Amino acid sequence: MSQMFPTLAPAVLPIRLPLSRQMELAHLNGFHGLDLGASQLAAAYAGKTVRRLAGDLKFHNLRPGGWMLPFEFMSRASFNTESMRLIERAARAAAMLHSPWCYYWIEPASDDLSFAANAELHVQRIRPIADVIGAHGCKLALEPIGPVTLRRGHLHEFVHDIPMALELLDAVARPNVCLLVDSFHWYTSHGDLGQLKHLTADQVGYVHINDAVEAVDVDDQLDDRRRLPATTGLIDIAGFLKALDTIGYDGPVAVEPFDARLTRLAPAVRVRLAAESCERAFISAGLSWKRD
């Protein structure tokens, strides 16, 4: 049976190095995959270099991981014909690389739109994106953002947990639109293992793992302050991953900490620490870390 696999996500550590060096670091530290940028994918398609990119990944014994939607789909300025062309090219390349995992997040509050109006606009924006990338076998995983601190002081709350996100997916009514499940957002939205166990594999399209900040109440956790997974122990990362394994999720799992102490370290050290924490998380859940 296929199993979820650890992927290095350079954009979130962050690792700003040439792609060749990113591949080296991912391979040396035991990651199975490497996330790519949508612009990289689109450029590879336009330049007819997708096969070369596939060969470079294979040389480093890596799978392509996921790729983030390259524009804010709720922004009128960035939601335009050119951005749709970009994701169409990216999706073509992603299909050639067998990397169907596109993802983005859902803003959890608004000062301008009521919940109903916000939901309607999300449906209008998400459907054409889903249709464009879906034509090439790609899915769009949307991430509910959990922290209460991001909703305080705003006039209108919006989707911020798994049940609400599933209702939005029902309204979108596109089979290739699913969830990005993040352990920090699951924790800060007061999610439980039952929520995860009642999902199906088709409803999950990408996964982030991390840990919460020590000595901070769950409702006071800040979105931009997190720890590497399996470090503080506030989040039940073993239960989280076991639940996803139980439902048959077999896509990428990326470490996503936002830790100022980590970003001050050299890129190679950052990747090593991310890999070590990811390995601890996988082993705690009884999942294999070694490549096939």
Q: At what angle do helices 81-97 and 50-59 cross, to 10 degrees?
A: 50
Assigned domain for 229 exists: yes
Assigned domain for 39 exists: yes
Residues 146/152, Cβ–Cβ less than 8 Å: no
Q: What pLDDT shows up at residue 292?
A: 63
Assigned domain for 292 exists: no
Assigned domain for 253 exists: yes
Residues 142/103, Cβ–Cβ less than 8 Å: yes
Q: Say which CATH number the domain at 216 has.
A: 3.20.20.150
Structure-token match 């916000």, residue found? 118
Q: In sequence order, what are the residues at sequence separation of 6 or more whose Cβ sits closer than 8 angstroms to the Cβ of residue 264?
A: none
Assigned domain for 290 exists: no
Q: How many CB atoms lie within 10 A of CB 288?
A: 11
pLDDT digit string, tens, across residues 7-63:
999 999 999 999 999 999 999 999 999 999 999 999 999 999 999 999 999 999 999
Residues 122/172, Cβ–Cβ less than 8 Å: yes
3-state secondary structure of 173: coil
CA 88 to CA 93: how far, in whole Å? 9
Assigned domain for 73 exists: yes
Number of separate domains in the chain = 1
In the Cβ-directed half-sphere of 201, how many Cα atoms lie within 13 Å? Answer: 13
3-state secondary structure of 84: helix
213 secondary structure, DSSP code: P
Structure-token match 């789909």, residue found? 73
The tens place of each residue's pLDDT in the chain, 292 residues long, gives 569 999 999 999 999 999 999 999 999 999 999 999 999 999 999 999 999 999 999 999 999 999 999 999 998 888 899 999 999 999 999 999 999 999 999 999 999 999 999 999 999 999 999 999 999 999 999 999 999 999 999 999 999 999 999 999 999 999 999 999 999 999 999 999 999 999 999 999 999 999 999 999 999 999 999 999 999 999 999 999 999 999 999 999 999 999 999 999 999 999 999 999 999 999 999 998 886 6
For 237, the domain range is 5-284
Residues 140/127, Cβ–Cβ less than 8 Å: no
pTM of the model: 0.97
Among 17, 9, 23, which residue's Cα sits nearest to residue 54?
A: 23
CA 116 to CA 118: how far, in whole Å? 5
CA 90 to CA 69: how far, in whole Å? 9
Assigned domain for 187 exists: yes
Assigned domain for 83 exists: yes
* Angle ∠(8,191,217) on CA atoms, nearest 5: 90
3-state secondary structure of 19: helix
The sign one gets for the Cα dihedral 116, 197, 142, 211 is positive
